[in-house]
Amino acid sequence: MNEIRIPKGKFQRTVITAKTAGKVSGQVLTYLVKKPFLSKDNNIAAKKDLSEKNAETIFKSLTFLKGTALKIAQFLSMELEILPEALRKELEKSYNRVPPLNRAMVRKILKDVYEDNPESVFKCFEAKAFAAASLGQVHRAKTKEGHKIALKIQYPGIKNTIESDLKIVRTVVKPLPDYAFILPGLDEVEEKLMEETDYINEGKNLLFFKHHLKLKLIKVPALYEKYSSDVVIAMEYIKGLPLNEWIKTNPSIEEKNKIAESLFEIFIRSLYELKCIHADPNPGNFIITPDLKVGLIDFGCIKQFDPTFVDNYQKLNRTILRDKSEYFSLHNELNLFINDISEEVKNNIMHIMHKISIWYGRFYKKEWFDFKKNKDIFTEPQNLFKELSKYKKYFNSQPDFIYLDRTRYGLYRIFEKMEVKIKIRNTYEWDE
């Protein structure tokens, strides 16, 4: 009975947020009281300090709410450009946390879907989950024909939970200085989360990748539509370990390089050929099979791009180390900035972006990029991004960019942890 459960009742949830809201307001209050006595520089520093502290407070309570909140927490930590090490570790733990559904509930949900007992539907069914998924949990089963399958089961009422969670988060982030900037992002998160609760849609995504992403090094499970519904999805069981567990088994550097290359190839090919990426680079979503293939198991978070956007993004990458003026004119095409912007501000932004592009170019500088030898690469641009974020108000909201960058960045962070050496230069983004 020591399961960690999602505090699901609205009452309980509101109590937690009330606590958080109290803390956040408290901190804003401290800032406002201090404000008149601070010099201008100190003022900025204090404000920054404030948003970091707030983020941390919100973050802590959100991870406690788990499930949907996990995603929001991830999102907020990205937007506020801070991801303290301790919190990142917390997040990682929650990826594969103990499932919240007990056997009675699982039975009930399956019975609602199949209109029969799970033991009559399947040859065998494991009532205990073997893995947690973002909005549910996964069980092993065997069909009457003897196929091993994985059943992902959604927690009942999750849609209402997402709605009420986001309502709460919107209230909580109100005192934050970056409120206006965060808000549209939260709408996007809500939309994506709602999409994720629709397992029929996830099944469609799975089939799309299965039919279109023909790569030898990956394994996309078969979908068992017969056993799937809007709250249950049945797919072929893939034997292996989730990436984060696999790393703990101390694989050789060659094996790790191979896996990282596969992950990168999946990303690049999906982006440039399918114009559609698997946008949730969470190490728990990749299963490493005994023959070193990468099994893709979670198709809840898929991002489809406009082909023109992908073209422009590709051009951007190809010019990054070559032609500064072309690189800048490309940015104009991407409709990055709001119309009402002075040349001076634009130049300032471009100046920072150029610096960022030089940093970004480091990944392509040599044929191979060694994540182990370049540990500093992720700390280096943090100041640049912070500087850039001062100009936030001049940017158009670009959810496509955010998703793409976040996926790419997430993947690179995985590579960093794996300490691999791979080719970031690829046929789509680099001419030999």
What residue ranges bind another protein (CB under 8 A)?
Answer: 1, 5, 8-9, 102-105, 107-108, 111-112, 117, 119, 127, 156-157, 160
Helix (H/G/I), strand (E/B), else coil: 373:
coil
* Pairwise CA distance, residues 107 & 203, whole Å: 22
- Distance of closest approach, residue 198 Cβ to another protein, in angstroms: 13
- Distance of closest approach, residue 106 Cβ to another protein, in angstroms: 9
What letters, b where the CB count within 10 A reaches 16 and e where it falls short, cover 201-224?
Answer: bbbebbebbbeebeeeebbbbebb
Nearer to another protein, 157 or 361 (CB): 157
Nearer to another protein, 42 or 117 (CB): 117
* Pairwise CA distance, residues 297 & 274, whole Å: 18
Number of CB atoms found within 10 A of residue 32's CB: 10
Nearer to another protein, 155 or 412 (CB): 155
Nearer to another protein, 16 or 384 (CB): 16
Helix (H/G/I), strand (E/B), else coil: 313:
helix
- Distance of closest approach, residue 59 Cβ to another protein, in angstroms: 25
* Pairwise CA distance, residues 325 & 320, whole Å: 10
- Distance of closest approach, residue 8 Cβ to another protein, in angstroms: 6
* Pairwise CA distance, residues 407 & 282, whole Å: 9
* Pairwise CA distance, residues 146 & 236, whole Å: 11
What letters, b where the CB count within 10 A reaches 16 and e where it falls short, cover 321-342?
Answer: beeeeebbebbeebebbeeeee
- Distance of closest approach, residue 142 Cβ to another protein, in angstroms: 14
- Distance of closest approach, residue 129 Cβ to another protein, in angstroms: 13
Nearer to another protein, 7 or 242 (CB): 7
Nearer to another protein, 102 or 426 (CB): 102
Tally the residues of the chain.
Answer: 432
DSSP 348-385: HHHHHHHHHHHHHHHHHHSSSEETTTTGGGGTTTHHHH
Nearer to another protein, 9 or 184 (CB): 9
- Distance of closest approach, residue 134 Cβ to another protein, in angstroms: 19
